[in-house]
């Protein structure tokens, strides 16, 4: 699990120095960029396993950096924010972040979150299967969805994992807690609100997707 490069895009040098010590102790290499522009360039040069991305960057802010990353990469992104409002968290998740951490944070906790994100993103079944529900074909190998009118849609990594799990349990009502445990992992540090945000994004990208909200419980895919 340990090893490889972590890209930190953060303008506070003290935080970068502290995190470098903690991640190197765990066997990772941490490369640091102090602006959004430099971070995007470093992303292309280093091919990191995870990006730690501060929202309040000079120049291009973290939200825009995350959008640009997601336009061409599925690398896991953990947002770092000094703001603890619900809207900041939701915006980060809607643009494709995998997790978020509010400053001040424990370096040990951040290391644990990185390891959890890596487990979720890299320990996936290698066998390709296609699950068909209500005319939708969810292809685990290609990680894409074909709609009833033959349009191919490629959701973000977490959106796809959520849709695939729902499709594999067609007709069953699944609680938010069940979905968090199955898709994000039992050690996910976020909130059940995360599930709602990703469902909303799936409905935007797949307007006719048969995901039913079961009020007070969770969600059901298909009939």
What would the DSSP string read from start to end of 102-151?
Answer: ESS--HHHHHHHHHHHHHHHH----S--EEEETTEEEETTTTEEE-TTS-
Final residue in a domain of this structure, among 99, 122, 145? 122
Mean pLDDT estimate for the chain: 86
What is the percent of the chain with per-residue pLDDT over 70, rounded to a whole number? 89
Final residue in a domain of this structure, among 122, 140, 165? 122
Final residue in a domain of this structure, among 102, 122, 142? 122
Radius of gyration of the chain (CA): 18
CB 196 within 8 A of CB 144: no
- From 36-45, 73-82, 84-93, the region with the lowest mean pLDDT: 84-93
Residue-number span of the structural domain to which 195 is assigned:
130-221
Together in a domain, 112 and 144: no
Higher pLDDT, 200 or 123: 200
Together in a domain, 143 and 114: no
Q: Which two tokens stand for residue 170?
A: 């067609």
CA distances in angstroms from 62 to 69, 81, 128, 197, listed in the order given: 10, 9, 34, 19
CA distances in angstroms from 86 to 7, 26, 76, listed in the order given: 25, 31, 21
Highest mean pLDDT (candidates 4-13, 68-77, 96-105) = 4-13
137: CATH: 1.10.10.10
Q: Is the pLDDT of residue 192 over 80?
A: no
pLDDT of residue 117: 81
Q: What is the number of domains present in the chain? A: 2
Q: What is the pLDDT of residues 97-109, one digit of tens each?
A: 888 888 888 899 8
């Amino acid at each position: 699990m340990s090893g490889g490069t972590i890209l930190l895009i953060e303008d506070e040098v003290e935080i970068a120095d502290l995190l470098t010590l903690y991640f190197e102790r765990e066997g990772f290499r941490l490369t640091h960029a102090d602006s959004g522009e430099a971070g995007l360039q470093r992303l292309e040069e280093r091919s990191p396993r995870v990006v730690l991305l501060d929202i309040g960057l000079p120049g291009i802010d973290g939200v825009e950096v995350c959008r640009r990353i997601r336009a061409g990469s599925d690398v896991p992104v953990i947002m770092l924010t000094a703001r603890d409002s619900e809207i900041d968290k939701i915006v980060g998740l809607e643009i494709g972040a995998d997790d978020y951490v509010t400053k001040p944070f424990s370096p040990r906790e951040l290391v644990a979150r990185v390891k959890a994100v890596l487990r979720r993103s890299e320990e996936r079944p290698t066998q390709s299967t296609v699950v068909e529900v209500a005319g939708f074909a969810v292809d685990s190998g290609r990680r894409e969805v074909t709609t009833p009118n033959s349009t191919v849609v490629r959701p973000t990594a977490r959106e796809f994992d959520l849709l695939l799990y729902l499709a594999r349990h067609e007709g069953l009502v699944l609680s938010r807690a069940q979905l968090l445990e199955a898709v994000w992992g039992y050690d996910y540090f976020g909130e059940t609100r995360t599930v709602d945000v990703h469902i909303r994004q799936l409905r935007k990208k797949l307007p006719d997707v048969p995901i039913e909200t079961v009020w007070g419980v969770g969600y059901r895919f298909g009939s």
